Structure 1
């Protein structure tokens, strides 16, 4: 068992007594509401694959206003953090 590898869950072939196979999927399948719309959910692809999928989701998002809002919030929080640690921003300005 590796240190960085995740352990797979055990699977059993149990079917409930009163389960109808014609229903909508398995009653034991736990699925999030938006899983079919996301690319980042699924098999563990590693950090690089997850990051690339998240960037593709961000680029292909039809709601551009939300993307701009997120970037503005990140920029404001970054400037507040730099102000708290007393970072000198004059190194980025030309003399």
Structure 2
């Protein structure tokens, strides 16, 4: 009955319906739109190189308005979070 034999996978001659016959790329590869523009996406394996790449991308980003917008949104969300947990802000002010 084949107890010791490994089961072989079935092979089908499937081609995607809208695949380009020119052979450009792999039709089964799932890729994001902006991967070719990002430096943080790639073969970086360790945390330190990912963090360094992210910081370099943040430093050399031309759109400073977007960075400012993100900081404002994070600040507003932080204040809302502190309000929800009833954090006493009077510890920061002297009497």
Match of 1:36? 36
Q: Does 1:93 align with 2:93?
A: yes
Query: Which digits, 9 at most, give the CA deviation of each residue in 1:31-75, with x for residues without a partner?
Result: 322112111111242233222222222221111111111100000
TM-score, normalised to structure 1's length? 0.63
Match of 2:81? 81
TM-score, normalised to structure 2's length? 0.63
Aligned partners of 2:48 and 2:83: how far apart in 1?
A: 32
- Count of aligned residue pairs for this structure pair: 78
CA RMSD of aligned residues (A): 2.6
In structure 2, the gaps of 5 or more residues are 1-13, 15-19
In structure 1, the gaps of 5 or more residues are 1-15
